[in-house]
């Protein structure tokens, strides 16, 4: 599947040479998992963000918010992140090296299996055994997480081999205790030193800090932008004139204190994400614009298929996928389609894009269904967008914790007569009887479901008393304390907690995948790298090249560059002394789609040449014409094919493209 000639280190050199991004703090020795974006990467990212905003926020009048990174601990306790947003780590007992436990087990066992393969091959006289690579579909999924472990050529017993394979297939299911058992049972050591390892300990992946001068208010750097959106739900619903469904959106920095970050931009400690929280009626997950996407064909990898041990892709339209229940509902289907369209606009190769459904054991603690848009790169299939159904999880837990109603109240078209159990608390006796616990007990009673109330009522009716357990303590209740009666009420309002469909974009991962997808070498020449970004995301749209340092060009360049800026066409002027050909090559590496060359003829007749990056074809027209063409090209309202069909081709001077 992946191109065997793909040479990642060459791409990495280009990325560094043209300063797309680089390890942060490199002059201080660097810090793993932190990267700085240089001028090209920063412009690329900012264009991707602008495209995202146009594609999602503007297109659907989403309510974009910008909430704080610093988050008090209480919020993330409620959301479950303090307890569950963690990985297991273990330490080399002697040198203190730290490993993420599951990655370590994976790496060691895979190395042993590889050693076994090589040993068997050697025994049978085979010349060469391929190392498993990211192109192997069975291992591709997890390729990005692995740190290579030394391969020792030793044959395994059949039962060992089977056990290792079984562990690897289930690795995502294991918590600390299981990993501890595996490490002990299979004698896993610190790979480099051979030392023993400590038992896996849980390590929370949030960066913590302290807010204000007291030292008593603990805070975390947010691990996602979602919580800020949930906390503002009430204000947003009101802003939306109480209409449902609606979506909020947020673009911003989030943090994840990885145990041992690797794989470049794919696993970092600080990253820019873009998240949508689409609030929807749990009883009606249709989408008014579903028809816009229903005919889009997607590469799908449903959970069911994976459970059968296969990674075979099902290609089907979104319409069929929803109709057949492969994708649960129209809103989820709608967003899968919109995500697809966005990624294609960015420049992702559609053949290297699939949508994989999470298996139940790998879902985040808040999700009830999740499809990942995975993009294929030299690291394997990488999750770049998650599209999770978080159900009513977050709004429910925050409402419960803060006693703030986070619900939608909907006027019913027709009033509804319903029959239900109604609880009344006899305040007169309740207070004196339960004293300081009165409120707690009352709250617990009020929170009971219909079934819970029925059980209490049955007990009261049978034995005149019942009890409720609150926070581990039983409280006895009699008919004097409470009454539970069946009543008929007419409801005019339906009150419900919305469900949330959450498309969540890891923009750095998309950016890296894009770099791999658009990179190629002209004429297979190692020195002629091209990055074929679509114009709309290209870091610069246009490069201005005066033929030489001759001062007759200076006013022309200044004037032209001023006119380009007035049209918001981002421009890089390259007036270095290198030849035009060298400069074309340099700007191909920056992925600049169009170059304008100013030469002596320009000074005479006001014409310039316009060259397109991928085809290297040129036209030569008056500056006014070229400006208009450039504006349309950079906004992608015309294609280059259309341009060359309209204006006569211009032959470059010999040697220009060398």
Site for a copy of itself in 565-594 (CB under 8 A): 565, 568, 570-574, 576
State the sign of the Cα–Cα–Cα–Cα dihedral 630, 631, 634, 640: negative
Nearest to 328 by CA among 275, 276, 389: 389
Q: Helix (H, G, I), strand (E, B), or coil: what is residue 38?
A: coil
Judged by CB under 8 A, does residue 63 bind a copy of itself?
A: yes
Out of 27, 123, 417, 645, the only residue in the binding site for a copy of itself (CB under 8 A) is 27
Judged by CB under 8 A, does residue 98 bind a copy of itself?
A: yes
- Nearest-approach distance from CB 551 to a copy of itself, in angstroms: 14
Judged by CB under 8 A, does residue 75 bind a copy of itself?
A: yes
Q: Using CB atoms within 10 Å of the CB of residue 443, give its burial: 0 to 12 exposed, 13 to 18 middle, 19+ buried.
A: exposed
Q: For residues 273 and 507, give the distance between their C-alpha atoms in angstroms, rounded to a whole number.
A: 5
> Is the Cβ–Cβ distance between 573 and 561 less than 8 Å?
yes
> Is the Cβ–Cβ distance between 620 and 609 less than 8 Å?
yes
CB-based burial, 552-579: b 16+ in 10 Å, e otherwise: ebeebbeebbebbeeeebbbbbbbeeee
Beta strands 353-357; 70-72: pairing state: unpaired
Out of 103, 269, 457, 509, the only residue in the binding site for a copy of itself (CB under 8 A) is 269
Scanning 213-221, 457-465, 482-490, 524-532 for contacts with a copy of itself by CB under 8 A, the matching segment is 213-221
Out of 1, 8, 13, 32, the only residue in the binding site for a copy of itself (CB under 8 A) is 32
Judged by CB under 8 A, does residue 600 bind a copy of itself?
A: no
Q: For residues 621 and 648, give the distance between their C-alpha atoms in angstroms, rounded to a whole number.
A: 9
Out of 67, 306, 454, 628, the only residue in the binding site for a copy of itself (CB under 8 A) is 67
Out of 8, 10, 13, 61, the only residue in the binding site for a copy of itself (CB under 8 A) is 61
Total residues contacting a copy of itself by CB under 8 A comes to 84
Nearest to 597 by CA among 577, 575, 615, 614: 575
Interface characters, 227-266, with a copy of itself (x: CB under 8 A): -x--xx-xxx-xx-x------x---xx-x-xxxx------
- Nearest-approach distance from CB 63 to a copy of itself, in angstroms: 4
Beta strands 353-357; 369-377: pairing state: antiparallel
DSSP 102-121: HHHHHHHHHHHHHHHHHHHH
Scanning 17-25, 451-459, 476-484, 610-618 for contacts with a copy of itself by CB under 8 A, the matching segment is 17-25
Out of 8, 12, 13, 72, the only residue in the binding site for a copy of itself (CB under 8 A) is 72
Scanning 18-26, 294-302, 325-333, 461-469 for contacts with a copy of itself by CB under 8 A, the matching segment is 18-26
Of 150-209, binders to a copy of itself (CB under 8 A) are 203, 207-209
Judged by CB under 8 A, does residue 393 bind a copy of itself?
A: no
* E-state strands within 399-461: 408-425
Out of 15, 43, 266, 630, the only residue in the binding site for a copy of itself (CB under 8 A) is 43
Judged by CB under 8 A, does residue 82 bind a copy of itself?
A: no
- Nearest-approach distance from CB 280 to a copy of itself, in angstroms: 18
Q: Residue 60 or residue 155: which is nearer to a copy of itself going by CB?
A: 60
Q: For residues 586 and 589, give the distance between their C-alpha atoms in angstroms, rounded to a whole number.
A: 5
Out of 15, 37, 374, 640, the only residue in the binding site for a copy of itself (CB under 8 A) is 37
Q: Residue 204 or residue 478: which is nearer to a copy of itself going by CB?
A: 204
> Is the Cβ–Cβ distance between 610 and 596 less than 8 Å?
yes
Residue 258 backbone zone (phi > 0: left; psi -120 to 50: alpha; other: beta): beta
The tokens describing 65, both together, are 């918010």
Q: For residues 656 and 573, give the distance between their C-alpha atoms in angstroms, rounded to a whole number.
A: 18
Q: Residue 349 or residue 573: which is nearer to a copy of itself going by CB?
A: 573
- Nearest-approach distance from CB 58 to a copy of itself, in angstroms: 6
Of 272-291, binders to a copy of itself (CB under 8 A) are 272
Judged by CB under 8 A, does residue 24 bind a copy of itself?
A: yes
Of 395-434, binders to a copy of itself (CB under 8 A) are 398, 402, 404
Of 613-642, binders to a copy of itself (CB under 8 A) are none
Q: Residue 371 or residue 393: which is nearer to a copy of itself going by CB?
A: 393
Helices 330-346 & 507-518 angle (0-180, nearest 10):
50
Q: Residue 403 or residue 435: which is nearer to a copy of itself going by CB?
A: 403
Out of 47, 48, 56, 71, the only residue in the binding site for a copy of itself (CB under 8 A) is 71
Q: For residues 610 and 620, give the distance between their C-alpha atoms in angstroms, rounded to a whole number.
A: 6
> Is the Cβ–Cβ distance between 306 and 359 less than 8 Å?
yes
Q: Helix (H, G, I), strand (E, B), or coil: what is residue 208?
A: strand
Q: For residues 128 and 121, give the distance between their C-alpha atoms in angstroms, rounded to a whole number.
A: 8
Scanning 20-28, 349-357, 511-519, 618-626 for contacts with a copy of itself by CB under 8 A, the matching segment is 20-28
């Amino acid at each position: 599947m992946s191109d065997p000639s793909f040479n990642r280190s060459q791409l990495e050199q280009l990325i560094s040479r043209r300063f797309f991004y680089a390890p942060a703090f490199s002059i201080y020795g660097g810090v793993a998992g932190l990267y700085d974006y240089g001028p090209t990467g920063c412009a690329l990212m900012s264009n991707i963000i602008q495209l995202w905003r146009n594609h999602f926020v503007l297109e659907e009048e989403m309510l974009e918010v910008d909430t704080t990174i610093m988050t008090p601990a209480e919020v993330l306790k409620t959301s479950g992140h303090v307890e569950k947003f963690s990985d297991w780590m273990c330490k080399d007992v002697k040198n203190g090296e730290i490993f993420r436990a599951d990655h370590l087990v994976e790496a060691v066992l895979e190395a042993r299996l590889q050693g076994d393969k090589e040993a068997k091959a050697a025994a049978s006289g085979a010349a060469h055994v391929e190392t498993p690579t990211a192109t192997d579909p069975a291992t591709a999924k997890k390729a990005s997480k692995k740190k290579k472990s030394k391969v020792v050529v030793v044959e395994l017993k059949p039962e060992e081999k089977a056990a290792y394979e079984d562990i690897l297939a289930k690795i995502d299911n294991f918590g600390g205790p299981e990993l501890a058992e595996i490490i002990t049972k299979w004698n896993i050591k610190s790979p480099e030193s051979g030392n023993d390892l400590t038992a896996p300990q849980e390590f929370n992946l949030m960066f913590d800090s302290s807010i204000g001068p007291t030292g008593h208010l603990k805070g975390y750097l947010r691990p996602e932008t979602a919580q800020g959106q949930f906390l503002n739900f009430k204000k947003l619903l009101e802003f939306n004139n109480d209409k449902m469904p609606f979506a909020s959106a947020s673009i911003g920095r989030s943090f994840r204190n990885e145990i041992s970050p690797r794989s470049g931009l794919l696993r970092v400690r600080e990253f820019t994400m873009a998240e949508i929280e689409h609030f929807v009626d749990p009883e009606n997950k249709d989408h008014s614009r579903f028809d816009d996407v229903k005919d889009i064909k997607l590469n799908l990898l449903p959970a069911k298929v994976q459970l059968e041990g296969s990674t075979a892709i099902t290609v089907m339209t979104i319409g069929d996928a929803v109709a057949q229940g492969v994708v649960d509902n129209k809103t989820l289907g709608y967003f899968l389609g919109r995500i697809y369209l966005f990624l294609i606009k960015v420049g992702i190769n559609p053949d290297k894009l699939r949508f994989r459904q999470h298996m139940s054991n790998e879902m985040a603690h808040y999700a009830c269904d999740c499809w990942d848009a995975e993009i294929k790169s030299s690291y394997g299939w990488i999750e770049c967008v998650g599209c999770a159904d978080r159900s009513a999880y977050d709004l429910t837990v925050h409402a419960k914790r803060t006693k703030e109603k986070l619900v939608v109240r909907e006027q019913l078209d027709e009033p509804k007569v319903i029959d239900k159990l109604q609880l009344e608390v006899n305040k007169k006796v309740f207070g004196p009887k339960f004293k300081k616990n009165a409120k707690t007990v009352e709250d617990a009673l009020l929170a009971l479901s219909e079934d819970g109330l029925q059980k209490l009522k049955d007990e009261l009716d049978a034995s005149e008393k019942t009890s409720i357990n609150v926070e581990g303590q039983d409280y006895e209740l009699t008919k004097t304390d409470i009454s539970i009666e069946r009543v008929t009420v007419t409801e005019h309002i339906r009150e419900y907690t919305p469900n949330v469909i959450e498309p969540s974009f890891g923009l750095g991962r998309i950016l890296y995948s894009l770099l791999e997808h658009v990179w190629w070498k002209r004429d297979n020449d190692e020195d002629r790298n091209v990055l074929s970004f679509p114009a709309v995301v290209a870091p610069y749209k246009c490069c201005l090249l005066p033929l030489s340092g001759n001062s007759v060009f200076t006013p022309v360049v200044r004037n032209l560059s001023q006119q380009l800026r007035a049209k918001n066409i981002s421009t890089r002027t390259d007036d270095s002394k290198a030849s035009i050909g060298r400069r074309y090559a340099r700007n191909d590496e920056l992925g600049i789609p169009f170059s304008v060359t100013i030469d002596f003829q320009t000074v005479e007749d006001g014409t310039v040449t316009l060259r397109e990056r991928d085809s290297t074809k040129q036209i030569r027209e008056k500056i006014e014409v070229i400006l208009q063409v450039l504006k349309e090209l950079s906004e992608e309202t015309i294609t280059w094919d259309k341009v060359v069909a309209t204006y006569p081709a211009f032959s470059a001077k010999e040697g220009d493209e060398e």
